Structure 1
Amino acid sequence: MVKKTIKYPGLLFLVLLIVSCDFIADPPAVENYNLPVYSIEISEENYGLLKKNAYSNLKVSARLNINGEEHKIKIRHQGFSSRGNFKKNFRIIYEEGSDPFFEGSEVILNSQAIDPSMLKSFLAIEIFKRTDLITFEVQPVAFYINDAYEGLYYLIEPIDEDFFVRRNIKTSELYKAYNGFAFFNYKDLPDVRKGYEKKFPEDENYHTLEKLIAATSYDGPDFPEKLEKIFDVDKFLQYWAVTVLICNWDGIIHNFCLRRDAFSNKFEIVPWDLDRTFVWDDYRTAFPGDNYLVRKLMNYPKYRKIYKARFERLLEEVFNASVLFPKIDSMKTVIREAYNNDRWLNANGYDIDRESENIKMFIEKRIGYIKNQLENFN
């Protein structure tokens, strides 16, 4: 009997070691960076489908782990112009249960990819909260897909039917401005469906919205009376004052919502998607605002008086260094670690301290500009 010998015992040991490591090695650690963790587990097949369909709303199955709690979900891409960004936006649809932060069946994971400070949406919402307008909530999170850190994201509460139910706000209809054509007159928008998408109820009846655009387009001597029967003009002027202050140029003909109240039957404006803000704009948000309806309202002394009062109150109570700078510094502390480990932000050389200082300089400059404009505005 011939005894067989192993020529390369060291190689056998190495092979056995490698094989055994597949069973004993710990998975990569998921760092929370002092934030809630939203960690997606998705099969290779579904992940491939998701990546290939960045420009569609195809939903695929996955699992979402939130600080140890697992949820069955569907996930799809989210957004309009943002779908070509390196950091994608996603919509999460819970198949059972609800989101622990916002209690809804759907939430948005937004990369804020056009905001190198990762502070603008948060800050804009803080300002809008000091008005009478309805606002959505945001929460910074550390986002992972298959244990790979995708970066610092914001969890955003969608504005949908459940949004108003949670707040006990009776709403008959909701429309979202989209496509860059959300004008307030029939000359620029002969078909309201080109600029507004009906979110609920899910039907093709745009009659009440058409009545609103007809009222804003009307040029008779009783224009204010006709408009105020169907539209909350005061809240519109609140929205517009903040929009001009923060240079929310994307929220003029694109990103806002219109809800119709179930009791008054009046429409009111609701802010949405606030990352394109705090960057100087001499066109759309130049005082008093480049908008058909704003320009028309400014022909009436009572609306000019209301508009000016809105700016004066905002400057005194909200839009100033003593209120906003501590909010910037506080949120900067909260997100700093997740920000510093975000590979997209690192690759582009962004620095949270420099970016936050840019916002502070914008605020100070904008205050001076608006005060100067108000001096001769009566």
Structure 2
Amino acid sequence: MLKYEILINPKWLKKLDNDIWNDELVPAVLKIGEDRFSIKIAYRGNVIRDKKKKSYRIVFQKPYKVNGAHEIHLNAEFSDVSLSRNKLSLDFFDRIGVISPHSQHVLLYINGYSKGIYLEIESFDQYLLEKRKLPDGAIIYATNNRANFSLITKKKEIKKRLDQGYTLKYGDKEDIIDIKNFIAMINALNNQDFEKEIPHVLDVEKYFRWVAGAVCVQNYDGFIHNYALYKNGKTGLYEITPWDYDGTWGRNLHGRKLDYDYVPLTGFNTLSARLFHFKHFRKQYKEILTSILENDFNLDVQKPIINELFDSLKPHMSLDPFISSNAETLEQEKRVYFNFIKKRSSYLKEELDLFV
């Protein structure tokens, strides 16, 4: 496991701690092996900022890019005793053909003090597109649960703006207009026009792969939050990518167990509801999910993946001062994961038989 050392002037560290909700970046140095990089750093996330083990946003300064990335995130994974749900989920999406940030576990030290095991995650931005040799295109983050593809919020309130819940990560003002038009189209077109127009705006096949991924790992928030939209510059179609998937594999974001049938077969948001109105779209989704259950989301495939990841973490658990997890904890959590996969996959297969 790589060791990351951050060296930061105590006054800047104090500035971060004085206002944990401030997103302002402060200067520091990141050392990886013999390499030293000038960076800027800030706390990131929402719930995690109140925890004793915090997550960080790192933006490279000199050099401007490292391994093709200008920005990375170091996630504490504090509410996950296995430190693994996020990585397993992002890797799963990558496996089933959804653009997904890559990740790796690292040991983090700040000014000589161990901060424990962190998950380094790629930032989904223009540099990721460049690194993956994907066409340039706008990237829009779904930054809160108003990003539900609807005109109405989760609390049944009418939205003040069509782009509520979304933040432009990369692009220009025209891209905000485009997302507003997309939301308007989803909600305003009659069925006939929607069926005709949606394939010209959305990569439906890739969208269904994303829905299927979120359905399999059962991310309750994933359908209205924790994703980014990418407008492929070559096709002109929206694609979608996952983000912050710690509330998965049988647990919620706080680490509490969820029943294996907590999330329905189709997930839930306005866009999916409109697509599933049409028989040919339901057939397409059924074929995608059936293939994923057969080839990707089952114990034969996932068990060795989980075993390998957990075995890589075991020797380092004692180095994390903020967690009480150990090798036995991981073995216990394995059983939670395996039981979830077995029951969840069986449940989804039964539901698919009724999905016509």
TM-score above 0.5, yes or no: yes
Counterpart of 1:201, as a letter, is G
Matched with 1:12 is none
Of 103, 115, 129, 1:150 maps to: 115
Match of 2:293? 315
Partner of 2:3: 37
Over the matched positions of the two proteins, sequence identity in percent amounts to 28
Q: Verify: 1:223 aligned to 2:164, yes or no.
A: no
What is residue 138 of structure 1 aligned with on the other side?
A: 103
Secondary structure of the equivalent of 1:344? coil
Cα distance, 1:131 vs structure 2: 2.2
2:169 to 199, 203, 213: 199
Of 311-320 and 286-295, the range deviating more from structure 2: 286-295
| Larger Rg belongs to | 1
Structure 1 residue 304: Cα displacement: 1.0
Q: Secondary structure at the match of 1:222?
A: helix
- The alignment covers a number of residue pairs equal to 343
| Greater Cα shift, 144-153 or 123-132 | 123-132
| 1:294-333 equivalences in 2 (<5 Å) | 294-333=272-311
Residue 282 of structure 1, CA deviation: 7.4
User: Where in structure 2 are the equivalents of 1:55-74 lying within 5 Å?
Assistant: 55-74=21-40
- Establish whether residue 363 from structure 1 lines up as the match of residue 341 from structure 2: yes
Q: Could you give the per-residue CA deviations for residues 104-129 of structure 1, whole angstroms, max 9, x where no partner exists?
A: 12111111122221111121122212
Q: Do the aligned partners of 2:105 and 2:119 also contact (CA within 8 Å) in 1?
A: yes
Whether 2:75 is the aligned partner of 1:104: answer: no
- The whole-number CA distance in structure 1 between the counterparts of 2:259 and 2:271 is 19
Distance 1:253 1:153 in 2: 26
2:143 pairs with 1:178: yes
Q: 1:287 aligns with which of 241, 257, 265?
A: 265
Q: Is the 8 A contact 1:171 1:259 kept in 2?
A: no
Q: Which residue of structure 2 lines up, in the alignment, with residue 82 of structure 1?
A: 48
Offset at residue 78 of structure 1 (A): 1.2
Decide whether the 8 Å contact of 2:56 with 2:75 is kept in 1: yes
Q: Which stretch shifts more, 290-299 or 206-215?
A: 290-299
Structure 1 residue 239 displacement after superposition: 0.6
Q: In structure 2, how many angstroms separate the alpha carbons of the residues matched to 1:310 and 1:215?
A: 25
Moved more, 342-351 or 181-190: 342-351
Indicate yes or no: 2:16 matched with 1:50: yes
Partner SS for 1:156? strand
Judging changes above 3 Å, is the alpha-carbon distance between structure 1 residues 198 and 88 closer, same or farther for their aligned structure 2 residues?
A: same
Question: Is the counterpart of residue 209 in structure 1 residue 187 in structure 2?
Answer: no
On the 8 A contact 1:339/1:352 being kept in 2, the answer is: no
The Cα offsets for residues 15-62 of structure 1, whole Å up to 9 and x where unpaired, read as: xxxxxxxxxxxxxxxxxxxx1001111122111112112101122211
Structure 2: distance between partners of 1:276 and 1:210: 29
Cα drift, residue 172 of structure 1: 2.5
**In structure 2, what residue type is equivalent to 1:332?**
F
Mapped partners of 2:260, 2:344: distance in 1: 11
Output one character per residue of 1:239-281: Cα deviation in whole Å (capped at 9) or x when no partner. Answer: 1111111111121111100011112211111111211111236
SS in 2 for 1:343: coil
For the Cα contact (< 8 Å) 2:91–2:100, is it kept in 1? no
Tell me the distance in 2 between the aligned counterparts of 1:172 and 1:288: 28
Q: Distance in 2 between matches of 1:137 and 1:47?
A: 28
| Equivalent-residue separation in structure 2 for 1:39 and 1:214 (angstroms) | 47
TM-score (norm 1): 0.85
Q: CA deviation at 1:283?
A: 8.3
Residue type of the alignment partner of 2:113: A
Question: How far apart, CA to CA, are the structure 2 residues paired with 1:349 and 1:60?
Answer: 36
Query: How far apart are the structure 2 equivalents of 1:202 and 1:84?
Result: 33
1:265 is aligned to 2:236: yes
Bigger CA drift: 200-209 or 59-68?
200-209
Quick check: 1:116–1:350 contact (8 Å CA) kept in 2?
A: no
Q: Is 229-238 or 321-330 further displaced after alignment?
A: 229-238
The TM-score, its normalising length taken from structure 2, stands at: 0.90
Q: Supply the distance in 2 between the matched residues of 1:49 and 1:350 (Cα, whole angstroms).
A: 38
Task: Note if contact 2:21-2:49 (Cα within 8 Å) is conserved in structure 1.
Answer: yes
What's 2:253 paired with?
none
Q: 2: CA distance between counterparts of 1:249 and 1:74?
A: 33
When residues 122 and 76 of structure 1 are mapped into structure 2, their CA distance, relative to the original with a 3 A threshold, is: same
| Structural RMSD (CA) | 2.1
Which residue does the alignment assign to 1:129?
Answer: 94
The offset of 1:65, in angstroms, is 1.1
Counterpart residue type for residue 104 of structure 2: Q
Q: 1:352 to 1:166 in 2, by over 3 A?
A: same
The runs of 5 or more residues in structure 2 that have no matched partner are 154-158, 251-257
- Gaps of at least 5 residues in structure 1 are 1-34
2:128 pairs with 1:163: yes
